[in-house]
Amino acid sequence: MRLIAIARLIPWGALLAGCNPDRAGERYMNPTEKVRAYYEKEAARYDRHIHLSEKLFFGDGRHWAASQAEGDVLEVAIGTGRNLEFYPKETRVTGIDISPKMIEIARQRALHWGRQVGLQVGDAQALSFADASFDTVVCTLSLCCIPDDRRAVAEMKRVLRPGGRLVLLDHVASDMILIRAVQHLLEPLWVLFHSESLLRHPLKLVREEGFEIEWHQRSKWGIVERVLARKPAS
């Protein structure tokens, strides 16, 4: 606990000011625009950069997440479409992402896999769909970078039909004290250079939104979490 307290006291903002001149203009953007700007820059190299970390930490996570989907599916923050090859053929997939460039890469991937996917630029914190539009909502490796993750989970619930399924895969705040202390130390750097948090608690948010938890699992020192939940039927 002392390590966590020390990490919070370090003036990272002052120490790191000006260390990343390529992103200097982002200091005046709101959090959502900062995330959009980051992924617009990262889109072309995203798949290459994430490949190793996915292999080391998430294994078959994308396959697992997509295989839980049924019926009309919304993938929130679909990115470059890395889940598309794994969805059951009978599902009807819609995907949104904050970055137009990521959506374009996802569109090419959908063509490659022969999938009919409705893709559009959108904000997970304010989904453009009507209430109760989908049977399944999937979000993988993305709640970590959505500025208002609580609002995003609330929106996922809103667009789910009664009895619909929520599927989450992400890196989260570890439940192991020493690992979490390291995460606290790294957090300011991670936010600055990767526009995402290491300290999110998706399962807590899902429970607070009133979902029924069907199953959840932590792995990799408590850093990786998989969640299956249902919107109450009534």
Q: Judge whether residue 47 has pLDDT over 60.
A: yes
pLDDT for residue 234: 80
Q: Which residue has the higher pLDDT, 7 or 228?
A: 228
Give me 61's structure tokens: 């996570």
Of the candidates 92, 99, 95, the one whose C-alpha atom is nearest the C-alpha of residue 82 is 95
pLDDT value of position 26: 53
Q: 218 exposed, middle or buried (CB, 10 Å; 0-12, 13-18, 19+)?
A: middle
| Predicted pLDDT at 28 | 61
Distances (CA, A) of 132 to 158, 163, 213: 6, 10, 19
The DSSP symbol for 141 reads S
For the chain, give every domain's residue range.
2-230
E strands along the chain, which residues? 72-76, 92-97, 117-121, 134-140, 160-171, 212-219, 224-230
Instruction: Tell me which architecture the domain covering 2-230 has in CATH.
Output: 3-Layer(aba) Sandwich (3.40)
Residue 1 pLDDT > 70:
no
Confidence at 222, pLDDT banded by 50, 70, 90: very high
Instruction: Taking residues 197-204, report their average pLDDT.
Output: 97
Confidence of residue 5 (pLDDT cuts 50, 70, 90): very low
CA 209, distance to chain mean position in Å, is: 17
Are the beta carbons of 164 and 70 closer than 8 angstroms? no
